[in-house]
Chain A
Amino acid sequence: MELPELVRAIRENLPGASDELVKRFGQGVRFALRRESHRPFILEDLFQETFCIALEQIKQGKLKECNSLGSFLYGIARLTAWDTNRAEKKRQDRYVPLTSDVLVHQDPYHQLQRRESAQIVRKVIHQLTNPRDREVIFRVYLAEEDRAQICQDMALTPQQFNLILHRARERYRELYLQEVNLAPT
Chain B
Amino acid sequence: MTFDHTYFQKNDSVNRFLAGDLDEEETQRFQDHFMQCEHCLDQLELDQSFASAIKAQASEGQIAEPVQRRNQPFLMWAAALLLLGNLGLATIILRQRSEPQAIKLYTLIQSRGNEENLISVVDDDTWIVVRQPWPESGETFEVSIAREHKSPVWRKTLPRSGDFMEIAIPGTLLEQATYSLTLRDPASNWETAYRFTVAHQN
Contacts and interface: CB of A to CB of B under 8 A. Distances in A.
Contacts of B161: 106
A71 B166 contact: no
A126 to B, nearest CB: 4
A135 to B, nearest CB: 12
Given A24-B36, A122-B63, A102 B154 contact: yes
A57 interface: no
Question: At the interface, is chain A mostly helix, strand, loop or mixed?
Answer: helix
Given A112-B74, A117-B53, A125 B63 contact: yes
Contacts of B102: none
Interface string B135-161: 000000001010000011111101001
Given A112-B127, A117-B53, A31 B15 contact: no
A102 B47 contact: no
A93 B60 CA distance: 25
Contacts of B154: 92, 95-98, 102
Contacts of B53: 117-118, 120-121, 172
Interface of A: 24-25, 27-29, 31-32, 34-35, 67-71, 73-74, 91-92, 95-99, 101-109, 111-113, 115-123, 125-126, 137-138, 140-142, 144, 146-147, 158, 162, 165, 168-169, 172-173, 176, 179, 183-184
14 contacts: A70-B31, A71-B32, A73-B35, A96-B153, A105-B168, A117-B49, A118-B57, A122-B63, A122-B66, A125-B63, A141-B50, A169-B46, A172-B53, A183-B75
